[in-house]
Amino acid sequence: MNEKQDIGSLFDRISRTYDRLNHLLSLNIDRRWRYRAVSSLAKLAADEQLLDVAVGTADLTLEVLRQGKAQHVVGIDLSEQMMKIGQEKIKKRGYELSVSLKKENAQHMSFADNSFAAVTCAFGVRNFADLDAGLREMTRVLRPGGQMVILEFSYPENKVIAALYDFYFTHILPLIGKMLSHDKTAYTYLNRSVKSFIWGQQMCDKLSEVGLSNVGYKTLTFGIATIYMGEKRG
Ligand SMILES: C[S@@+](CC[C@H](N)C(=O)[O-])C[C@H]1O[C@@H](n2cnc3c(N)ncnc32)[C@H](O)[C@@H]1O
């Protein structure tokens, strides 16, 4: 079976250590990346909703609320354990009334067409078993003119940075990940999934194909991560 077919269980297994490891392995840069992704969103009106796809432990959702970009967020994910931790964090920060979390597959969501004024996804699309289906669904539920922001790992163009990055991802990160999460496969999966994924213009072409306009991207930290943006064609 394709490992992405069972991605919910993989994230269920590492949910308890996910946040700690994320911040440790990225040397805390992931917080800055989410801050930058959310900064590129326009502020929604009080009666509009934002959908955070692959919400996980809700870090992007919490950043949306912290920056006041939306007053209500719907978060969906396949992993109940990741969302359980997300819910605890939401409660701790007093945002229970501003967020609804739901178990849903991004590739076939139950929401009606044009339901959301904005759709976000941080480090999620790389994990979709069917990327095209996920992007099509994210566009379907976005209202015309609504903004989509995707944050995802990418690959550095500079050869020296790329060599250091390869070394870190192939040797250091899986080792620390295995020691701290006690899961042998999760962090070698991370390495494989990043290296085999598309980035830059190829991703922008896909976003245009599924129905977005004004598509563009900004690379972060030597191209290790990228923010993709677009608007649904009216
Ligand atoms: C790396 S985590 C990212 C979580 C969070 N967005 C963040 O910024 O930390 C990826 C998440 O994508 C979820 N996921 C993967 N495929 C999915 C799908 N088809 N539908 C919904 N969630 C999915 C996983 O369960 C996991 O929680």
CATH for 3-156+197-232 (3.40.50.150, 3.40.1380.20, 2.60.200.30, 3.40.50.300): 3.40.50.150
Tokens of 199: 């980035």
Q: How far is the CA of 177 from the centre of ligand 1 (A)?
A: 18
Q: Which of 65, 216, 34, 72 is nearest to 231 (CA)?
A: 216
pLDDT, tens digit, for every residue of 210-225? Answer: 999 999 999 999 999 9
Per-residue confidence at 1, pLDDT binned at 50, 70, 90?
Answer: very low
For ligand 1, mutation pick of 18, 79, 153 (most atoms within 8 Å of CB): 79
Which position has the higher pLDDT, 145 or 4? 145
Say whether pLDDT at 3 is over 90.
no
Per-residue confidence at 177, pLDDT binned at 50, 70, 90?
Answer: confident
Q: How far is the CA of 160 from the centre of ligand 1 (A)?
A: 30
Mean confidence (pLDDT) of the chain: 93
Q: How far is the CA of 124 from the centre of ligand 1 (A)?
A: 4
Per-residue confidence at 90, pLDDT binned at 50, 70, 90?
Answer: very high
Q: What residue ranges line ligand 1, CB within 6 angstroms?
A: 7-8, 11, 54-57, 59-60, 76-79, 82, 105-107, 122-124, 127-128, 134
pLDDT, tens digit, for every residue of 34-59? Answer: 999 999 999 999 999 999 999 999 99
Q: How far is the CA of 121 from the centre of ligand 1 (A)?
A: 8
In the chain, what are the domain boundaries? 3-156+197-232
Q: Quote the percentage of the chain above a pLDDT of 90.
A: 75
For ligand 1, mutation pick of 2, 9, 11, 22 (most atoms within 8 Å of CB): 11
Say whether pLDDT at 179 is over 90.
no
Per-residue confidence at 184, pLDDT binned at 50, 70, 90?
Answer: low
Residues in Cβ contact with 179 at an 8 Å cutoff, skipping those fewer than 6 apart? none
Tokens 């701790």 sit at which residue?
92
Q: How far is the CA of 170 from the centre of ligand 1 (A)?
A: 22
Say whether pLDDT at 2 is over 70.
no
43 vs 80: CA distance, rounded Å? 29
Say whether pLDDT at 4 is over 90.
no
46 vs 77: CA distance, rounded Å? 24
Whole-model pTM? 0.94
Which position has the higher pLDDT, 175 or 149? 149
